[in-house]
């Protein structure tokens, strides 16, 4: 059983597999790279000829678990009924790779969509990039560093025209994560499992205390610039995995650098990390009221 098959098996066993039974048009495990984890699931609306405006989603899971076929993507599946194609990105996981290799995978997926998306009825001039938790961190870095060679992992080439971003509870500032945990009153991952590396240390492959400066290269907050697309940020006030202050600080940075019209921040008083409440109202309306004028227009 290869790595992709193992992850899918674990997803099925845990009851987290996305229900695709009602989807008439879908393309599963479409490769964008040579590794078995470098593949996409493409879901199209049941009606219409396309090309369809496209939502590209990157799953969470502390960079070490999760799968492109799991139900995390349910938040964005209503887009199919609104005329969007939805693309779920698989990427290589820890410990097989460390950052920035997983970022390079997301970049490669975006290049693949730009070069081959029309073959699957994707409109790569009208794209929203979305993600949850660890996947949102990778997605934010991919968007904020578009066209920067050091972050591409390959020669620059065609990529998607990203018109909007939806960030669900991403870690955005690793250098200040401990401070935010302390302010929120939650135990850090490295305190819960003494002697084990926290998720951020595992992501990078070294200890945050040894090189705080290096964590800036993985923290989206330090890659904000004036030309980023508009960003919707969703985060729960009582998120115990990623403190909500991470999103507050990112929003403040975007307002400062790119302008107040480039960010909308929604701090929810009733959601936890990866909460299924995001799959229903009022969050569905918040998301698509944000996306529709930017991506479908």
Task: Kindly tell me if the per-residue pLDDT of 187 is higher than 80.
Answer: no
Task: Kindly tell me if the per-residue pLDDT of 194 is higher than 50.
Answer: no
pLDDT per residue as tens digits for the range 164-185? 999 999 999 988 888 888 887 7
Rounded to 5°, the CA angle 228-226-224 comes to 65
Residue with tokens 């790779």: 97
Residue 195 CB contacts under 8 Å (≥ 6 apart), including other chains: none
CATH placement of domain 3-172+219-296: 3.40.50.1820
Task: Kindly tell me if the per-residue pLDDT of 73 is higher than 70.
Answer: yes
pLDDT per residue as tens digits for the range 195-234? 445 777 889 887 766 677 788 899 999 999 999 999 999 9
Task: Kindly tell me if the per-residue pLDDT of 152 is higher than 70.
Answer: yes
Task: Kindly tell me if the per-residue pLDDT of 288 is higher than 50.
Answer: yes
- Tell me the average pLDDT of the chain: 91
Task: Kindly tell me if the per-residue pLDDT of 9 is higher than 80.
Answer: no
E strands, 77-179, are 85-89, 122-132, 162-168
Q: 3-class DSSP state for residue 270?
A: coil
| pLDDT value for 4 | 65
Integer Cα distance of 159 and 142 in angstroms: 11
pTM of the model: 0.94
Question: Is the separation of the CB atoms in 214 and 201 below 8 Å?
Answer: no
Integer Cα distance of 195 and 183 in angstroms: 23
- Residue-wise DSSP of 7-57: HHHHHHHTT-B---TT-SEEEEEEESSSSTT-EEEEEE-SS--SPEEEEEE
pLDDT per residue as tens digits for the range 39-65? 999 999 999 999 999 999 999 999 999
Greatest CA separation for the chain: 54
pLDDT band at 189; cut points 50, 70, 90: low
């Amino acid at each position: 059983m290869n790595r992709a098959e193992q992850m899918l098996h674990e997803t099925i066993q845990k009851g987290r597999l996305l229900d695709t039974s009602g989807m008439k048009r879908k393309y599963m495990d479409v490769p964008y790279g040579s590794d078995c984890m470098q593949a996409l699931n493409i879901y199209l609306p049941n009606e219409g000829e396309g090309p369809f405006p496209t939502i590209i989603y990157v799953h969470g899971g502390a960079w070490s678990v999760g799968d492109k076929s799991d139900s995390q993507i349910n938040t964005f599946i209503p887009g199919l009924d609104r005329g969007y194609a939805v693309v779920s990105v698989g990427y290589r996981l820890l410990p097989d790779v460390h950052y920035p290799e997983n970022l390079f995978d997301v970049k490669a997926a975006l290049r693949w969509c730009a070069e081959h998306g029309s073959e699957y009825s994707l409109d790569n001039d009208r794209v929203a990039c979305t993600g949850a938790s660890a996947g949102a961190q990778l997605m934010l870095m991919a968007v904020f560093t578009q066209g920067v060679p050091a972050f591409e992992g390959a020669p620059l080439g065609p990529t998607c025209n990203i018109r909007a971003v939806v960030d669900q509870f991403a870690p955005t500032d690793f250098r200040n994560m401990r401070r935010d945990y302390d302010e929120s009153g939650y135990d850090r991952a490295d305190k819960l499992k003494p002697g084990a590396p926290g998720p951020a240390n595992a992501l990078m492959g070294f200890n945050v205390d040894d090189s705080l400066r290096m964590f800036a290269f993985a923290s989206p907050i330090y890659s904000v610039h004036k030309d980023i697309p508009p960003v919707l940020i969703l985060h729960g006030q009582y998120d115990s995995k990623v403190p909500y202050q991470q999103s507050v600080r990112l929003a403040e940075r975007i307002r400062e650098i790119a302008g107040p019209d480039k960010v909308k921040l929604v701090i929810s008083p009733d959601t936890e990390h990866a909460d299924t409440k995001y799959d229903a109202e009022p969050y569905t309306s918040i998301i698509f009221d944000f996306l529709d004028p930017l991506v479908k227009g």
